[in-house]
Amino acid sequence: MDVFQAIQERREITTYADRSIPDKVLEKVVDAGYYAPTGNNLPSKSLIIVRNRPNLDSLAATTPYMNWLKEAKAAIVVTGKPKISKYWLQDASIACAFIWLEAVEAGLGAAFGAVYHSEDKKESFVRENHVRKLLSIPEEHHIVAILGMGYPEGTLKPKKHLAREDIVHYETFS
Ligand SMILES: Cc1cc2nc3c(=O)[nH]c(=O)nc-3n(C[C@H](O)[C@H](O)[C@H](O)COP(=O)(O)O)c2cc1C
């Protein structure tokens, strides 16, 4: 599969077959996040792999919007460290994107659970604290997102994308 095909085929997959992910497959997905670029090449991100069933179930309670973790066979928690780089949020976000795309190439389905919330510090603290306590993540790391994954169960209806001209502009915005 080429990169563009993975980009086009990527969807958020939230139902998974009862089939475990071989270590080699999961490690390659993790490596996609590991190899993702960072601003100024600074090491602001960390990736925490979770496969343990009780921990996946507990992570599902981080927000009301990641119940799919109860079915997921693995999760990758992506964190960023502001002390290391002012681009920590972008660094973590691009790692999430790479992980999601490699999951597609590997035949997995992945879902994105937002944890850090830049517009609501209080909510962010509650969400992050839940994950932090469960996985012993030090205070200086923000918990940006949790990607859940597994082999997809079922198929999705094709996605209707927004009109390209509403998104893509040439030379100037208008
Ligand atoms: C920044 C961001 C935050 C998201 N947060 C969540 C979330 O908390 N829970 C969830 O189920 N999906 C979440 N998603 C997934 C989107 O809802 C999903 O990608 C979008 O509806 C488009 O569908 P598609 O991925 O199938 O193209 C998030 C995606 C992004 C990029």
Specify the pLDDT at position 154. Answer: 87
Range 14-20 average pLDDT: 97
Q: For residue range 120-133, what is the model confidence (pLDDT) as tens digits? A: 999 999 999 999 99
pTM reported for the whole predicted model: 0.97
Q: For residue range 48-86, what is the model confidence (pLDDT) as tens digits? A: 999 999 999 999 999 999 999 999 999 999 999 999 999
Q: Compute the radius of gyration of the chain from its Cα atoms.
A: 17
Range 130-149 average pLDDT: 98
Mean pLDDT value across the chain = 97
**Does the C-beta of 65 come closer than 6 Å to ligand 1?**
yes
Specify the pLDDT at position 80. Answer: 98
CB atoms within 10 A of CB 55: 17
Range 6-14 average pLDDT: 97
pLDDT > 70 in the chain, percent? 100
Specify the pLDDT at position 174. Answer: 80
Specify the pLDDT at position 64. Answer: 97
Q: How far is the CA of 66 from the centre of ligand 1 (A)?
A: 10
**Does the C-beta of 86 come closer than 6 Å to ligand 1?**
no
Q: How far is the CA of 161 from the centre of ligand 1 (A)?
A: 14
- Continuous segment of H or E residues that includes residue 111: strand 109-114
Specify the pLDDT at position 41. Answer: 98
Residue 37 has pLDDT above 90, yes or no: yes
pLDDT > 90 in the chain, percent? 98
Mapped onto helix, strand or coil, the DSSP state of residue 18 is coil
Q: pLDDT band at 19, cuts 50/70/90?
A: very high
Give the span between the Cα atoms of 43 and 41, in whole angstroms. Answer: 7
DSSP conformational letter for 146: E
CATH 3.40.109.10 matches 3-153: yes
Q: How far is the CA of 97 from the centre of ligand 1 (A)?
A: 11
Mapped onto helix, strand or coil, the DSSP state of residue 50 is strand
Closest CA to 26 of 71, 67, 66, 75: 75
